[in-house]
Amino acid sequence: MKRIISVLLAVLMLFSLAGCQKASPQKDLDAMLMALKSGDMESLAALNDEEVFDFEGQEQMMSIFSSISWKFGETVEVDEDDAKVNVQITTKDMKDVFSEFMTQALSKALQGEEMSEEAVSQMLIDIINATEKTASFDVAVEMSLEDGKWVIDDGNEEFFNAITGGLMNVMAEYENMLK
């Protein structure tokens, strides 16, 4: 009896270890979104096997990212080294933010008020933080298994639009208006 229990425990431990070693696209995407929400760029870069990046407008983007929430869909399609993870992402509605930003910026310009780059940046951050309206996006995030980790594929425009609250759509609409 002791032998059977010992063998069962050993088999159970093997399955547990094997389960710990296998990467999951949903778990890895969840970890990336958690790092993004918390502003932990070092963890995000490590999860994606990328260099830590710093970019112009990062403070404004962190204001958007900090409000992200997500809910995974029921289906995750995995085909060896490729996967699609269905996720609903909710964050600040950048269409609303951009509209308010343009209203305030135009008002200041019409009043002859000149604003420094820092003042414009702070105005945008304040508007983002004050905005309560959210937008939700249902996205199929394409991922690839690289070195035992699932990473987001380049060219996931729907995903990047979703995590930025529809900013890519807003910018496309704005460009079309200028044509």
Q: What is the pLDDT of residues 97-117, one digit of tens each?
A: 999 999 999 998 899 988 888
Residue found under tokens 């994606």? 48
Count Cβ atoms below 10 Å from residue 83 Cβ, excluding itself. Answer: 23
CATH number (domain holding residue 151): 3.10.450
Q: Which domain, by its residues, includes 68? A: 2-178
Domain count, the chain: 1
Predicted pLDDT of residue 14: 34
pTM of the model: 0.75
Question: Could you read off the pLDDT of 135-152 as tens digits, one per residue?
Answer: 999 999 999 998 888 989
